[in-house]
Chains A and B, each alone.
Chain A
């Protein structure tokens, strides 16, 4: 964080619902604390505002948050996961350093954004998000 030009890992939050994606982005950025946070983009719902997954919104969001340090994509379920996997397989629909992060959506998003905002690299962001699976609630 010493260099103002330091590149941060971008985070994309993919949900079937635009409201969920945007709210989780707000939550994660809020919990990342004061100061500049890593770039976060919500890719929720379909372009017409319905529930579902939009490959185009995901692709746009990923390129928008790509500063060159990697892009972490977190998804809720079903078609969101399948669409991100398919875009990764396509090769040219996401930034070259984009990665699917297998993590719980809300907890993983918070961990990813907090970690990325601290200037961590993509591997550390992924590890932090995945670790959210180990946090038990009872």
Chain B
């Protein structure tokens, strides 16, 4: 993907020939990186809001796009006004804002994801990719505990779980895995949320929550320049 070379090679364990390369191999993610992620997510949700709502129309209540848009606009605003200074603080502030502003189930679910991940990162000024992966894994586990969805239930979990698994490889791989997971929800029958009331009629539609999860991981890869 674009901006090749900026952060490459880290996860492949290439033999380094210079100190500067080996520093890049332990890629540290600072507060700016997390701000870029949230900003990219807000922009992506803005661009894709209509598609999210369109996906939510046949099997949901046609508000996922506008809910996510309201939530991430609020995140963008709060990051400007409160100026959290560490990766953990940024994710916690974002999560809290999503919980208070979204208005649908995606608010507490994504809010829990970011807040738990933020808590797991503590107050370090910089974190490693590995720490971020672990933090997001903790966050996804909290989402599972809250919503009770398992893989295959046609929910955001179907994108989040493979994305976090692939994060050990690269940000681009995580984004691709989330996309694939979201696309794979189409033939599934919903077993959680409002769509589950539709039974077999939920088959044939891509899950809006899995789709927005894929947008969040695409934004993460964008923040990483992958």
Q: A46 interface residue, CB < 8 Å from B?
A: yes
Stretch of A6-14, A24-32, A77-85 that contacts chain B: A77-85
Interface residues on B, range: 10 to 19
Interface residues of B in 26-68 (CB under 8 A from A): 61, 63, 67
The prevalent SS among residues of B at the interface is helix
Q: A15 interface residue, CB < 8 Å from B?
A: no
User: A82, B67: Cβ atoms under 8 Å?
Assistant: no
User: A56, B146: Cβ atoms under 8 Å?
Assistant: no
Interface residues of B in 115-153 (CB under 8 A from A): 115, 146-147
User: A82, B63: Cβ atoms under 8 Å?
Assistant: no
User: A55, B99: Cβ atoms under 8 Å?
Assistant: yes
The one of B100, B109, B146 in contact with A55, judged by C-beta atoms closer than 8 angstroms, is: B100
Q: A54 interface residue, CB < 8 Å from B?
A: yes
Bound complex: CA A53 to CA B111 (Å)? 14
By a beta-carbon cutoff of 8 Å, the part of chain B in contact with chain A is 61, 63, 67, 96, 99-100, 103-105, 107-109, 111-112, 115, 146-147, 193-194
9 A-B pairs within 8 Å (CB atoms) are namely A55-B100, A56-B100, A79-B103, A82-B109, A82-B147, A83-B99, A85-B146, A86-B146, A89-B112
Known A55-B107, A89-B112; 18 more pairs at CB < 8 Å: A46-B103, A50-B103, A51-B61, A52-B63, A52-B67, A53-B107, A55-B99, A55-B108, A56-B100, A78-B193, A78-B194, A83-B99, A83-B108, A86-B111, A86-B146, A87-B99, A89-B146, A90-B115
